[in-house]
Amino acid sequence: MTKITNYLLIALMLLSVACTGGNGGAQSTSSKVIETNVPVRPAGQEDMVAFAAPKIEVVRVGFIGLGMRGPGAVNRFTHIPGVEIKALADLHMDRAEKAQGILTRAELPEAALYGGSEDAWKELCERDDIDLVYIATDWKHHAEMAVYAMEQGKHVAVEVPGAMTLDEIWSLIETSEKTRKHCMMLENCVYDFFELTSLNMAQQGVFGEILHAEGAYIHDLSAFWDTYEKDWRLAYNREFRGDVYATHGMGPACQALDIHRGDKMNILVAMDTKPVNIPEYLIEKRGVSKEEAYKFENGQNTMTMIRTENGKTIHIQHDVASPRPYSRMYQLSGTKGFANKYPTQGYALEASQIDESVAQNHENLNAHGFVPAEVRTALMEKYKHPIHIELEEKAKEVGGHGGMDFIMDYRLVYCLQNGLPLDMDVYDLAEWSSLAELGRISIENNSAPVAVPDFTRGSWNKVKGYRHAFAN
Ligand SMILES: NC(=O)c1ccc[n+]([C@@H]2O[C@H](COP(=O)([O-])OP(=O)(O)OC[C@H]3O[C@@H](n4cnc5c(N)ncnc54)[C@H](O)[C@@H]3O)[C@@H](O)[C@H]2O)c1
């Protein structure tokens, strides 16, 4: 039952904290905190916070994984200036050949194709005419492929979650730090229109101080389970508890809270419901016996709560089984206002946070309800993020989840071309992906608090405030 043999249950940390100050007069507490191993950074190795690589004028890219997600990325890259698509790889050669058709239709040169064996992707990584390896395979291949690509001197962009275990996370961090190569997770939801606008508002103080953020991946996948290569996604959920797909919720929440740019996550607690709908699906649709079907680890609804160094909280949910509307549950709650998406997209603000350029008679507004639709529209126009000002039209034309996927790819290439730090670094990948294993540890120990490792190993306060980088 308790699977923490490979972790150090170091800390029976008796935190006798006498809080006399601003925390509502909280009394002393004591708790056991489970800590996991944090490897010592090898001597001479430096962190990757704010790391910028030399400019790459033309970004030469190779794609691995051309199932449902990968070909869309290939297509988006054909719309980005200063890119050459050099190679395409998939286990199935016919998928690589099909993706070649995207290049043909775009009247671009042919790419080299790799496939037909489990390891053919390695040859793509070994090419000397590639700067960036873009990985859109199943979860279990992400870390292995990303590590190998960096070792071959390539920058890496890897689909979500970037890694599934703490060992994988640490191997990505060590390799990125050692090779001085970017390892960016392809978290697209941070570029969605409401989220990026709200981030801009948060950075300009419209919500006051953000104290709490929420996010989720709530998406009934029952219509999709059969579509994944070798059933990888259902198989993973069958095997592991914890939030195995936390990054869509974590990304926007962590950027708004400046995680490892002045704050860091300290403690996590997770809890889940028993699984019902997927085991029943396995019985009904796949003829699995009841006994086998209910040997199912992942909870139907998994909740994770996190507290940060600066006294903020994050709440993240995962539910891919319940019949309910799609939701990423995006919320920012501050001392002067509130942003919410799913099911209602809106803002609630104290009157002091709105000026006449946005709403006349704004002094009559208060945060008990959402601002009227026309005020929300005016706010979103006023605080439109510079990235959206530049890219919105093109992004909507090219598409990919309404445009956010294109913005993600464009920004990745733009930052590489201009020698800028990427919008997301290897520590974002680590923090947002870590809920899978840290949450599992918590759940398997009666929802005990688990320490969130400082993946930057001491550099979380070096940069003050999350910001996107621009060339000028
Ligand atoms: N960010 C998003 O919005 C979003 C949306 C969908 C999927 N995803 C992510 O994209 C990734 C892929 O998901 P998908 O839906 O395309 O899955 P999929 O099963 O359709 O595709 C995975 C592909 O990887 C290939 N593959 C597996 N092993 C390989 C190997 N050894 N060498 C080369 N190729 C190999 C498979 O043949 C398959 O074509 C996952 O990580 C998923 O979480 C992200």
Q: Please report whether residue 470 resides in a domain.
A: no
**Final residue in a domain of this structure, among 171, 187, 203:** 187
- 31 or 15: which leads in pLDDT: 31
- As given in the structure block, the two tokens for residue 436 are 């899978």
pLDDT of residue 446: 97
Q: Can you give the pLDDT at residue 21? A: 35
Which run of H or E residues covers position 241? none
- The span from the CA of 374 to the CA of 380, in Å, is 10
Q: Is the CB of 67 within 6 Å of ligand 1? A: yes
| Nearest CA, atom 31, ligand 1 | 118
Q: Is the pLDDT of residue 232 over 80?
A: yes
In tens, the pLDDT along 197-210 reads 999 999 999 999 99
In a domain, 12, yes or no: no
Ligand 1 centroid distance, CA of 437 (Å): 21
Q: Assess whether 173 and 203 both reside in one domain.
A: no
CA of 3 to the centre of ligand 1 (A): 29
Mean pLDDT across 189-203 = 98
Residues 114 and 210 in one domain: no
Are 68 and 196 within one domain?
no
Predicted local confidence at residue 31, as pLDDT:
65
What span, in angstroms and rounded, lies between the C-alpha atoms of 429 and 237? 20
Mutation to probe ligand 1, out of 64, 92, 138 (largest number of atoms < 8 A from CB): 138
Shared domain for 283 and 238, answered yes or no, is yes
* Domain co-membership, 120 together with 138: yes
What are the DSSP calls for 99-139, one per residue? HHHHHHHTT-PPPEEEESSTTTHHHHHH-SS-SEEEE-S-H
pLDDT, tens digit, 9 for 90 and up, residues 28-58: 445 689 999 999 999 999 999 999 999 999 9
| Torsion (CA) 266, 142, 401, 196 in degrees, nearest 10 | 30
Residues 246 and 349 in one domain: yes
- Give the total number of structural domains in the chain: 2
- Which pTM does this prediction carry? 0.94
Using CA atoms, how far apart are residues 296 and 173, in angstroms rounded to an integer?
31
Position of tokens 């029952």?
222
The domain that contains 278 carries what CATH number? 3.30.360.10
- Give 205-224 pLDDT, tens digit per residue: 999 999 999 999 999 999 99
Is residue 2 in a domain? no
Specify which residues 51 forms β-bridges with. Answer: none
Here the CATH number for the domain that contains residue 79 is 3.40.50.720
Using the mean position of ligand 1's atoms as its centre, give its distance from the Cα of residue 328 in Å.
Answer: 21
356 lines ligand 1 (CB under 6 A): no
- Give dist(CA 377, CA 370) in Å, integer: 12
Q: Are residues 318 and 244 part of one domain?
A: yes
**pLDDT value at position 362?**
76
In a domain, 367, yes or no: yes
Range of the domain at 160: 59-187
Q: What pLDDT shows up at residue 163? A: 98
Peptide bond just before 81 cis, omega within 30 deg: no
Shared-domain flag, residues 178 and 251: no
The answer to whether 455 and 430 have CB atoms below 8 angstroms apart is yes
Report how far ligand 1's centroid is from the alpha carbon of 409 (Å). Answer: 17
| Residue 147 belongs to a domain | yes
Question: What distance in angstroms lies between residue 230's CA and the mean position of ligand 1's atoms?
Answer: 11
What atom of ligand 1 comes closest to residue 66's alpha carbon?
A: 39
Q: 137: Cβ below 6 Å to ligand 1?
A: yes
Q: Are residues 104 and 144 in the same domain?
A: yes
